[in-house]
């Protein structure tokens, strides 16, 4: 279930809204041009499911949205904690990659198969922190300033949709705002 927190973007961010209400979340995101949809979650996919298996299970939904939105490339990104000695390093490196504010020339479209992550959308003086969970399909338009936090113990499987398979690059703004807004671990802890 999606969880939205909205902050002001000043030096001392204030919490403006906190909600799990699907209609309220959809309306708040629509105002900033971000689309959130929901697909029914298919049970029985383990963390060890590979890309082919994940895409096969959601074949019909993927085909439909590809036809509707004209995506040319679809893949699966996933990260799950393991016992290997290099896990903390891999987790930290993956988390750091898009943790600062940036934009892309393409839309950022993700369907969460399992686990969670927070997209922070910095638009019109506010930051919308959208905690996405299994079943959530979020479409962030190209050039929207945003960042993504998977937390200190990343655990998710997500299908990614692209209009351009030239590579996924972030154009970093240099704005340190991400360091002022509560991170994934903090928001998840506040919610429960």
Render the chain in DSSP notation, one character per residue: --EEEEEE-SSS--EEEEE--HHHHHHHHHHTT-EEEE-PPPTT--TT--HHHHHHHTHHHHHHHHHHH---EEEEEEE---S-TTHHHHHHHHHHHT-S-EE-SS-EEEEEEEEEEEEEEEETTEEEEEEEETTEEEEEPTT--EEEE--SS--EEEEEEES--S----EE---GGGGTS--HHHHHHHH-
Binding mask 84-113 for Fe ion (x = CB under 5 A): --------------x---------x-----
Annotated binding residue 122: no
How many chain residues are in contact with Fe ion, going by CB under 5 A?
Answer: 2
Least separation in angstroms between residue 168's CB and Fe ion is 8
Least separation in angstroms between residue 25's CB and Fe ion is 20
Give the residue with the Cβ less far from Fe ion, 107 or 108: 108
Annotated binding residue 104: yes
Least separation in angstroms between residue 110's CB and Fe ion is 9
Least separation in angstroms between residue 118's CB and Fe ion is 12
Give the residue with the Cβ less far from Fe ion, 108 or 136: 108
Give the residue with the Cβ less far from Fe ion, 108 or 183: 108
Annotated binding residue 108: yes
Give contact residues for Fe ion (rule: CB under 5 A): 98, 108
């Amino acid at each position: 279930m999606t969880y939205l927190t909205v902050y002001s973007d000043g030096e001392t961010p204030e919490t403006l809204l906190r909600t799990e209400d699907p209609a309220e979340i959809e309306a708040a995101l629509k105002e900033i041009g971000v689309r959130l949809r929901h697909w029914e979650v298919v049970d029985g996919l383990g963390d060890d499911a590979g890309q082919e298996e994940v895409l096969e299970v959601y074949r019909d939904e993927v085909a439909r949205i590809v036809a509707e939105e004209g995506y040319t490339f679809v893949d699966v990104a996933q990260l799950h904690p393991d016992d290997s000695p290099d896990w903390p390093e891999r987790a930290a490196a993956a988390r750091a990659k898009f943790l600062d504010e940036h934009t892309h020339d393409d839309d950022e479209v993700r369907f969460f198969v399992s686990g969670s992550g927070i997209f922070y959308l910095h638009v019109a003086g506010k930051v919308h922190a959208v905690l996405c969970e299994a079943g959530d399909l979020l479409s962030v338009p190209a050039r929207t300033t945003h960042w993504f936090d998977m937390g200190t113990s990343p655990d998710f499987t997500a299908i990614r949709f692209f209009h351009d398979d030239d590579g996924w690059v972030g154009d970093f703004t240099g704005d340190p705002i991400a360091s002022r807004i509560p991170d994934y671990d903090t928001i998840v802890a506040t919610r429960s």
